Structure 1
Amino acid sequence: MCLAIPALLVEIREDAQQGVIDLGGIRKPISIVLVPEARVGDYVIVHVGHAIGVLDPDEARRTLALFAQMQAAPQPPDSVEVRA
C-alpha cells in the first residue's frame, strides 16, 4: 500500500528542482521535478520525498483535517486479549 500526503509548498529552491514543504510545522526538502507548475503556497501531494501532483487547496485542508481527527481519536491498546 502506498501513502501520499498533502503538504504546503513554502519554498522553491534556486535550482527549481527542489522545494520545501511544511506539514504541521515540520519542514522537509522534497523534489518538485514532477510538478514544474507548482508555486509557493500550493498544496502538493508528496510520496517518498517527491511531489507528484498539485492539489486543490480546499481538498488539501479537508484531508489534513481528517488526519488530525484520526490522530486525536482514542487509540486501541497495544495488546488485545483474545478469549475463547
Structure 2
Amino acid sequence: MKRSASASAAGAPRPRPPILVGGAPSPRLFEHIAEYADGWLPIGGAGVAAAVPDLHRAFERAARSPGAPAPPAGITIA
C-alpha cells in the first residue's frame, strides 16, 4: 500500500509556539529577548513596569518591533 504525502510532510511550514524567556529585568536579558525570543516572563515584581520601556528599546536596537515574532533559530536574516 502506497502512502501519499501530507501537506506538512511536503514542506508546508507549521506554526511554532511563542518563545518566552523568563528573568529579572536587566539590559543583557533584554538584548537576548530582542534577538532570540518573542516575549518576556518577568520574575519578581519590583521594577517590572519601569523596565518595559527598556525592553522596547532593546527591540528597537535589534530592528524588531515588540510583538513581532522572533526569527527561527539557526537562520540568519540579511
TM bucket (normalised to shorter chain) is under 0.3
TM-score, structure 1 as length reference: 0.25
Using CA pairs under 8 Å that are at least 6 residues apart, name the structure with larger relative contact order, 1 or 2.
Answer: 2
Q: Which one has the largest radius of gyration?
A: 2
1 or 2, which has the higher strand percentage?
1
Bigger proportion of residues as helix: 2
TM-score, length-normalised on structure 2? 0.26
